Amino acid sequence: MQHCSVDRERITLTGAPETMLATLYGRALDSRSRKPILNDVAAADAVRRIDYDFRRTGMNASSAAGVAMRAKKLDDWTRDFLRANENATVLHLACGLDTRVFRLSPGPHTRWVDVDLPQVVTLRERLLPVPDGDYRLIASSVTDDAWLAEVPDDRPTVVVAEGLTMYLRPSEVEALIKRVVGRFPSGELLFDVYGSFGIRMQKLVPAVRRSGATLFWGLDEPRAIEAWGVTLVEDVRSLELPEIADMPASGRVPLRIMAKLPGFRDVGRILRYRFQANRSETRASHMA
C-alpha cells in the first residue's frame, strides 16, 4: 500500500461527520486494550495523526468495546460474502475514516468502493494510505442520485453501511436501499440500526450530543423493510454480541442488565439482508 506523509491534521468537522471521530477513536482504544476485539492498528495510527480533542467523543473502554464488536460483526459478514463470491464488489457507504478495507485485505478479484461526503473524502485522502488493488473513493452524499452510476453493476455486491442509517430521514433510507439493491444483480446489505427507543434517547450518546448531530431513523421490526427488495438473513441485537462475555465485569454487567430491560434490549441491532434484483424491472424503470 502507498502511505501518505502528512503532519497532524486539524479537524473542523461538525454534526454527523464529526461523529466518525468517535468510532475511529473507539477502534483505536480497542487496539490498545489487553485483549483487542478488532485490533484495528490502522485506526490507532490515524488517531495519532489527528489534531483533535478526543475527550469530546465521551469514548471509554466499554463504549470502545461496543464500537469494536459492531465493526467486527460487519467485517465477519463481509468476509463471508467475499469467500462465497471471489469476483465481487464491496460498496462501503459513509466510509468516514473507517479502515475496513485494510482490516479485510480483499483479494485481487475484489472491487472496493468507498463513498462519503467531499470534506470527509479529502480528510481520508490526507490521513489514510491508498489501498492496493481495485479501489475507488467517491466524494458524494449517499443520498444524491448521481454517484451510483459510477459503480459498475456487473458483479455480486455487498453493501456495508455502518453508523449511517440513523442519521438519515425515513424517506432517505427507503430511497437509498431501493436504489442500491436495484442496481446490482445480487448481493447482501449489511448495516447497524437504532431502535425507536435509541432514537428517543439519542442525547445520552456523548458523540451525538457534543457534535450537534441529530438521529432520525429507527427500526424496531427488521422484516418491516423487506418490501424494499431485501430478505432478512440475520438479526443480532447489539446487547447480545458474543464478545460481551469477555468484557471486564465493569462493562459486562451493565450490558447484561440492559439486555433484560424492555426498550433497552432493542436499542441497537446489526442486520444482514440478501437481495436479488429483478433485472427486467430495473431496466424498465431506467427507461421510464
Query: Between vectors from CA 36 to CA 35 and to CA 42, what angle results, nearest 5°?
Result: 145
Q: How many CA atoms lie within 13 A of 263 on its CB side?
A: 5
Residue 94 gets the label, from left (phi > 0), alpha (psi -120 to 50) or beta, of left
Banded model confidence at residue 285, pLDDT cuts 50, 70, 90: very low
pLDDT tens, 141-175? 999 999 999 999 999 999 999 999 999 999 999 99
- Mean pLDDT (the chain) is 88
Domains of the chain are 68-287 (3.40.50.150)
pLDDT tens, 81-116? 999 998 999 999 999 999 999 999 998 999 999 999
CA distances from 165 to 121, 252, 275, 283 (A): 19, 27, 18, 27
Could you tell me which residues come within 8 angstroms of residue 106 by beta carbon, excluding any fewer than 6 positions away?
82, 90, 112, 133
Decide which of 205 and 283 is more confident: 205
Rounded to a whole number of angstroms, the CA Rg of the chain reads 18
pLDDT tens, 169-204? 999 999 999 999 999 999 999 999 999 988 888 777
Amino acid identity at 37: I
d(CA 259, CA 254): 9
Which parts of the chain fold into alpha helices (H)?
15-18, 20-32, 41-48, 61-84, 100-104, 118-127, 170-183, 196-200, 206-211, 249-258, 279-287
Inform me whether the pLDDT recorded for 2 exceeds 50.
Answer: no
In the block, cell 432520525 appears at 216
Inform me whether the pLDDT recorded for 277 exceeds 90.
Answer: no
Banded model confidence at residue 3, pLDDT cuts 50, 70, 90: very low
d(CA 160, CA 254): 29
pLDDT tens, 248-257? 666 776 667 6
Our CA dihedral for 223, 228, 233, 235, rounded to 10 degrees, sits at: -50
CA nearest 9: which of 59, 48, 43, 41? 48
